[in-house]
Structure 1
Amino acid sequence: MPPPAGSSEPICSHAWTTFALAATISQWALQRLAFLDPMMAASSAIVGAGALLLAGIYQLTPLKRACLINCQSPLAFIAGRGGFGTGSASALKLGAEHGLYCVGCCWALMALLFFGGVMNPVWIAALAAFVLTEKLVPGPWLSWCLGVLLIVWACRSWCYNATKLDTPEGENRFRQLPTER
């Protein structure tokens, strides 16, 4: 079903298309550097812990909160800006702005696909379920709890793999993420 006349949906999708292009370029770069395994999950403890840490810190920021507030209710967002306005240009601007808020809300969680695996349906479903829950539950506490959990997980992953450096495999062991993620 096409969006209603004056809708901001096509522009919102352009923000996501741009994000998808950036994610694809990142995937190619990480794959060329051999930081992704065949499931497209991080094969490096540094990359894996870095993705967890980045997402965890971002969950705690005021920018994440502002983006989430504006993305949680598209109708409230549109009403709060006086509606679509007159003409296509104002609807285009409104759609672009809302799309940026939604990308700003979820980009770090989507980057976690590189941690758990782009080809891992369980990981994808878990992230999708969290994103949905985060958008439906008001207040910052859910984002903050996940942020702290991701930071702790990053530190644990880093420390677990750092203790393996003095094994005969040395750096090769360090590049592997723990199997009990």
Structure 2
Amino acid sequence: MGLEHGIYCLGSNWLLSVLLFPLGIMNIVAMAGLTVVIFAERMFPRGERIAQGVGLALILYGALVIVVPAALPLVGAGM
């Protein structure tokens, strides 16, 4: 049963782990923000709507960065 549960968790959370590892190394504030968003999606009754709102906001921000590259904050780029 433990092996089955481990395989299920690996299959459902691998992308989150791949995302959080470099994000945690590069920017702890971004990792904390993502953690809060995931927590809100899981714990609040309207979690699906929160996920949709965050997804829409990220899509719009991505489109903004494509149109106006200066909208991308480059913290520490001068180092």
Could you say which TM-score interval applies, normalised by the shorter chain? 0.5 to 0.7
Aligned residues: 74
Provide closer, same or farther for how the CA distance between residues 107 and 177 of structure 1 changes in structure 2, counting only shifts above 3 A. Answer: farther
For the residues of structure 1 that align with 2:22 and 2:64, how far apart are their CA atoms? 16
Computing the radius of gyration from Cα coordinates, the structure with the larger value is: 1
2:26 maps to which of 119, 130, 151 = 119
Partner of 1:140: 48
For the residues of structure 1 that align with 2:33 and 2:7, how far apart are their CA atoms? 28
For the residues of structure 2 that align with 1:142 and 1:119, how far apart are their CA atoms? 25
* 3-state DSSP of counterpart to 1:153: helix
* 3-state DSSP of counterpart to 2:68: helix
Letter in 2 for 1:146: V
2:10 maps to which of 89, 99, 104 = 99
Higher share of residues assigned helix: 2
RMSD: 3.2
**Where does the alignment leave 5 or more consecutive residues of structure 2 unmatched?**
none
1:152 is the counterpart of 2:74: no
Q: CA deviation at 1:141?
A: 0.6
1:110 is the counterpart of 2:12: no
* 3-state DSSP of counterpart to 1:152: helix
Letter in 2 for 1:142: I
For the residues of structure 1 that align with 2:22 and 2:56, how far apart are their CA atoms? 15
Q: CA deviation at 1:152?
A: 0.1
For the residues of structure 2 that align with 1:158 and 1:135, how far apart are their CA atoms? 31
Whether contact under 8 Å (1:109, 1:127) holds in the other structure is no
Identity among equivalent positions (%) equals 22
Letter in 2 for 1:93: E
Q: CA deviation at 1:120?
A: 1.9
